[in-house]
Amino acid sequence: MESNVILEDYCSYEVAKLLKQKGFPFDRLEGGFQRLLNLNVMEAYTTVTHAIARKWLRKKGIDIFVGAIRDMSLGKRYEANVHKDMVYQGGSHTVKATYEEAVEAELKFCLTEIL
């Protein structure tokens, strides 16, 4: 049976760490999940999705574009590139098997090379 729940891909620990170093406002981020450590203690995690990270970068003038590439031998692949203030900035120049991997690679590129 199909669910109506939309599942988002979360940023890796490495990208989350880079976001924090670059000033991402984790303290104002709503959402996340909680884990019960014992009967009296609850541990809360704030999480960030690819969509939230990309929105934050757009506010700084950085856009990530992801496109699909058809490869006859490998099938569909994804490549992304980056624009800052509508000017092409390049990208990680890697072709990934999934859309999510391409976004993750470009987030790393933006946070280490552009921002």
> For 89-101, what is the mean pLDDT?
85
Note the Cα 92 to chain centre separation in Å.
Answer: 14
4-8, 86-90, 96-100, 110-114: segment of lowest average pLDDT: 4-8
Note the Cα 105 to chain centre separation in Å.
Answer: 8
Quote the pLDDT of residue 26: 79
Note the Cα 44 to chain centre separation in Å.
Answer: 21
* Residues forming a β-bridge with 84: 62, 87
pTM: 0.78
Q: Is the CB of residue 77 less than 8 Å from the CB of residue 67? A: no
Closest alpha carbon to 53 in 24, 74, 33: 24
> For 59-78, what is the mean pLDDT?
88
At residue 93 the predicted structure's pLDDT band, cuts being 50, 70 and 90, is: confident
> For 41-64, what is the mean pLDDT?
82
Say how far apart CA 113 and CA 111 lie, in whole Å.
Answer: 6
Q: How far, in Å, are 72, 73, 105, 109 from residue 95 at the CA level?
A: 14, 14, 10, 14
Helix then strand count (H, E) for the chain reads: 3, 5
